[in-house]
Amino acid sequence: MDENLQRPFGEGNTPRIVIVGAGFSGIALGVKLLRAGIQTYDIYEMSPGLGGTWLDNTYPGCEVDVASHVYSYSFAPHDWTRTHASQRELLAYLERVADEFGVRAHIHCGTKVLDAAWDERTHLWTVRLSTGATVSANIVVSAVGMLNQPKYPDWPGLDSFRGPRFHTARWEHQHELAGKTVAVVGTGSTAIQIVPAIAPIVKKVIQFQREPGWITLKGDRDFTPEERDGFRRPLKRRRERLRLSWLLERGVRGGAIYRPGTKTNTAREQYCRALIAKIFADRPDLAAAVTPTYPYPGKRPIFHSTYYQTLKRDNVELVPKAVASVTANAVVDADGVAHEVDVLVLATGFEAARYLPNLAVFGRDGKSIHDVWNGEPQAFLGLTVPGFPNFFMMYGPGTNGGELVSMFERQAEYVARVARRMMRDGVTAVEVKRGWHERYNRWLQSKMQGTSWLLSRNYFTSPTGKVVTQWPFGAILYGLLVKVAGPLSETTRTLREPRGA
């Protein structure tokens, strides 16, 4: 028998794996593979360092919306300084995990994966890198996430602006903001963090709002020394993680929070309205401007403790109008009013519904995954697509929801299990059955009906109006589906002729 058939994965009989992206999900996968006894993998990261979104986003006030003890790996506890970690602390945490668990040695920064093409004759992926090199892999995993491609507006005159102009995910720290008039365009989570952070140092902030978001108080603060001492004890730390995880699960149980008219949804919207009424009791103009006209949550819910109060500062102006155009020294709103500014900050979000925007993937029939999707990305459990053997996505379509880091771990465990199955059974191609993929996505889309996501403008939808990013339940149900339905959904094949024949 040919040696390639006896040992399809070489001397150590471990598959060669290429991972695209060294953020939270890519690092999680690296750890899970090492724990599964698989060291034959490489992580290619186009940025100069690891960290993903927590490397790219360095804007003032950048921090996580989820409690630190939950927004971290179950296998890597940390001595957090705050209830909600800052960008710097999260990046340092990822650096530590990569070093402590041996993942760093597998990461190649400053190297972009250009494309990956499946060869049915050899059951291998051919992966082209920005360095000019080409590598072969048994498995390719996209860990690029969904919030990595900044969305730039096409306003007339934007290029004529003479002052500093940059997107929040590409913050240019060389520009001094003190004493300047700064325009912040957008009112999503990022903008809501930036405005309170820069308001105390700038001459004036002018924030342009096309549409307000629903805001909940975050309750973020530094831990006391006594609290940190307590959380250093494993039992207390685990209890806190379980408590916070349960609160998150309870909040999204059954998806009721996303459905207008349910008790859970109504209670949350009433809370948000009461918060607006209380803080802006003396400013009815601002109260009207920041109250959404669509049901809760509609867009991504926003969590911040000081934003509303910041809007009442003398040097902060909220313009409840979309931007129409830009001149050399001003931003012109939809009413034609020109607002002179020194710096233009684009908090205009990301191309979230455009999955794999910078990665071309060609499957079994030579067709690209983007052509297969035809503008409507979908995958089984957000992980796999028929016609693309041994290709997996972390944080793929339909997985934005629940407790993300826990979901990343379940996805990483799925990929590691598939790799172990290939080694154990000698199979060289694992692919989701088309029927399972189609039935799952019909079920998932049925759960989008009746949600507020379909009643507002948001980054969750494709150009056709289909919600393609969201998971409407919690991490527990997702993890259960991955564990139980994942193996049942798979079909396998074994290469029947020697490679190179």
Do 133 and 20 share a structural domain?
Answer: yes
Same-domain check for residues 357 and 319: no
**Domain encompassing residue 280:** 158-214+261-294+296-346
Question: What's the confidence (pLDDT) of residue 499?
Answer: 46
The answer to whether residues 289 and 207 touch, using CB atoms and an 8 Å cutoff, is no
131 and 82 part of one domain: yes
Paired tokens of 361 = 């993937």
Judge if 86 and 168 occupy the same domain: no
Q: What is the pLDDT of residue 7?
A: 62
Please report whether residue 233 resides in a domain. Answer: no
pLDDT score at 501 = 30
- Let me know whether 190 and 338 are in one domain: yes
Give, in degrees to the nearest 5, the angle at Cα 388 between 387 and 390: 135
Q: What is the pTM of this model?
A: 0.96
Longest dimension (CA), the chain: 84
What's the pLDDT score for residue 402? 85
Which of the residues in the chain have pLDDT under 70?
1-7, 497-501
Q: Within 10 A of 3 (CB to CB), how many other CB atoms are there?
A: 9
Structure confidence at residue 342 (pLDDT): 98
In a domain, 29, yes or no: yes
Same domain, 124 and 209: no
Q: Kindly state whether residues 194 and 70 are assigned to the same domain.
A: no
- Structure-block tokens of residue 253: 């149980």
pLDDT at 484: 98
Rounded CA separation 422/9 (Å): 9
Q: How many domains does the chain have?
A: 2
Q: CA-CA-CA-CA torsion for 413, 415, 417, 418, nearest 10 degrees?
A: 170
Asked whether 237 and 229 are in contact (CB, 8 A), the reply is no
The H-or-E segment that residue 19 falls in is strand 17-20
* 315-358 pLDDT, tens digit each: 999 999 999 999 999 999 999 999 999 999 999 999 999 999 99
* Predicted local confidence at residue 400, as pLDDT: 97
